[in-house]
Structure 1
Amino acid sequence: MDTPKVWLVTGASKGFGYESVKLLLEKGYRVAATSRDSSKLEKRINSDHFLPLTMEVANEESVSKAVSAVMQRFGKIDVLVNNAGYGLLGGIEELADEEIRKVFAVNVFGLINVSRSVLPIMRKQQSGRILNIASVSGSVSAPATGIYSATKAAVIQISEALSKEAEEFGIKVTAICPGGFRTDFLDKSSMATPKNEIPEYTLVRNTVERFGELNKNQGGDPKKAAAVFIKIGEMPNPPCRIYLGSDALRMMKKKIADVSQSLDTYFETSQESDY
């Protein structure tokens, strides 16, 4: 690799982020990685080509400081992986404003903050890749996942718009939408639940319980996901959106079939509002 590319990975202390950082370094890339506590990264990864940074993605000043440190160390940013985020399981009625706003602050506004800080660098370079880690839940929602799904739907739509806006600068944007992967995502450290549950919502409670049973038994391999991230980051013409995992593909095929059937069923009704 003549001029090793520089990757910036957020939310890198575990899961997809951590596996991506490890594999990137093995492949000879230069890597800057962020976490809310960079000491976790410093203890786990030792490389001359690695820059661990503390970053609160929801804090613009923290983001700006970290991005400046990347530029000071490496002089460029070729690929940004917006991976920082966490989950929230709970019914719409039982979730408080504070709980909802917190997950939006990280999953949506945090992603926007980091992207806005890196985009001027990529525009000046006239090149770059942005990989936004969304979720199949951004396209297929279920009981107890409504708010989390809304944040990931936002990520998908932001990615689609930005892919068109930034294309003239040689910047490619992809929303990666994983299904279930065997990470720490369903652990209590990554998945929040309501402080005030409403027991009457039995379907919500049952769904949350099923997610707990699924933890560490998901079909997706995070190491293989990291390899796909890198593959997409190196594609000359990457997709605007890609679903990751057999379960995600099954869910999307059913979703597309359901939407298609609904369009056909209510086709005439949908046209009744035209002039």
Structure 2
Amino acid sequence: MKTILITGASSGIGRAAAVYFSQQGWNVVATMRSPEKEKELNQMDRVLVTKLDVLEKETIAEAIAKGIERFGKIDVLLNNAGYAAVGALEAANDLQIKKQFDVNVFGVIHTTKAILPHFRASQGGTIINISSTAGRVAFPLLSLYHASKFAVEGLSESLFYELATHHIKIKVVEPGNVATDFTGRSLDILTDDSLEAYGAYTELVVNKQMESFRKHSSPPELIAKTIFEAANDPTDRFRYLAGEDAEFLMRMRVENSDENFMKTIAANFS
């Protein structure tokens, strides 16, 4: 019986993955910042709910140790914890910029580094990083989020080669819009009351993005199934698109020149 450790399992994709993997007979280490608030996952068979805050490295080591103690070994790490900062770059303060990268990039790095000794000792393992189509295609007012996801893509692709000699697989799951609370509790709005230059444009873009989100979102359970596919795929496949909108967007990106693609995106926000 295999075991997966999931970061950010309190809601959204992480929670859906924890439920789905458990239903498929896997052991699950469902980690979150406030495990004491969890009332459902800790009632499920083969699920260990424990604390892991990607901003606190000691909790990463503790969660991994608890997972190994409970289930004997960990076979898959799912780096899922993340959030988006939305707004004009000029409106972002230093703390907001730092936090976006601390969670979305350094969190992935620290958790990956922490699991690697165990995977090397086990002579194998799989690391699945939740990226996004936002890691390959950019939209306005999401510069920090895109930068963090582009970083995850580059990190993952380099590690794909670096860890192959240790029989450790790196895979990236790229959802499009997902029907979760990502636009609520997982969203940091960048605002500066003294900065009015972006006001009208921000309102226009946000409204259009929210409309697109409502019309073209995949349920988190679909993303969980894609993650399960990646976790069980013995091949060297690297990327897994998740959602019809993700498939459409990346197909449009591949079939067009940079100039034509970016003109199309710009026209949608004008």
Normalised TM-score (structure 2): 0.90
* 2:201 counterpart of 1:203: yes
1:190 to 182, 186, 189: 186
Are positions 1:177 and 2:174 aligned together?
A: yes
Secondary structure of the structure 1 residue equivalent to 2:120: helix
Structure 1 unmatched runs, 5+: 263-275
1:69-80 aligned within 5 A: 69-80=66-77
* Two-structure CA RMSD over aligned residues (Å): 1.8
Aligned partners of 1:23 and 1:226 also within 8 Å: yes
Letter in 1 for 2:171: T
Contact 1:183 1:216 in 2 (8 A): no
Quick check: 44-53 or 32-41, which moved more? 44-53
Letter paired with 1:195: T
Paired residue for 2:81? 84
Q: Which residue of 1 aligns with 2:163?
A: 166
Deviation at 1:218, TM superposition (A): 3.5
Would the alpha carbon gap of residues 55 and 214 (structure 1) be closer, same or farther in structure 2, given more than 3 Å must change?
A: same
Deviation at 1:44, TM superposition (A): 4.3
- Structure 2 counterpart of 1:11, one-letter code: G
Cα distance, 1:15 vs structure 2 = 0.6
The 8 Å contact of residues 80 and 130 in structure 2, kept in 1 or not, is answered as yes
> Conserved in 2, the CA contact under 8 Å of 1:9 and 1:80?
yes
Decide whether the 8 Å contact of 2:52 with 2:60 is kept in 1. Answer: yes
How do 1:86-165 and structure 2 match up within 5 A? 86-165=83-162
Give distance in 2, aligned partners of 1:234 and 1:70: 20
Cα deviation code 1:46-73 (max 9, x no counterpart): 1241111111102211211111111111
Equivalent position of 2:252 in the other structure = 254
Deviation of 1:43 (Å): 4.0
What is the alpha-carbon distance in structure 1 between the residues aligned to residue 12 and residue 214 of structure 2? Answer: 12
Separation of aligned partners in 1, 2:173 and 2:223: 10
Q: Deviation digits for residues 130-152 of structure 1, max 9, x if unmatched? A: 11000101111111111101100
Partners of 1:216 and 1:261 in 2: CA distance: 28
Letter matched to residue 226 of structure 2: V
Task: Quote the offset at 1:123 in angstroms.
Answer: 0.9
Note the C-alpha offset of 1:168: 1.0
Give structure 1 regions of 4+ aligned residues with deviation exceeding 6 angstroms. Answer: none
1:18-53 CA-partner distances (Å, limit 9, x unpaired)? 111111111111000111101233444412411111
- Taking structure 1 as reference, are residues 44 and 137 closer, same or farther at Cα in structure 2, changes over 3 Å only? same
- Whether the 8 Å CA contact 1:53–1:66 is kept in 2: the answer is yes
Q: Is the Cα–Cα contact under 8 Å of residues 226 and 240 in structure 2 kept in the other structure? A: no
Letter of the 1:32 counterpart: V
CA contact (8 A) 2:222 2:243 kept: no
Number of matched residues?
A: 258
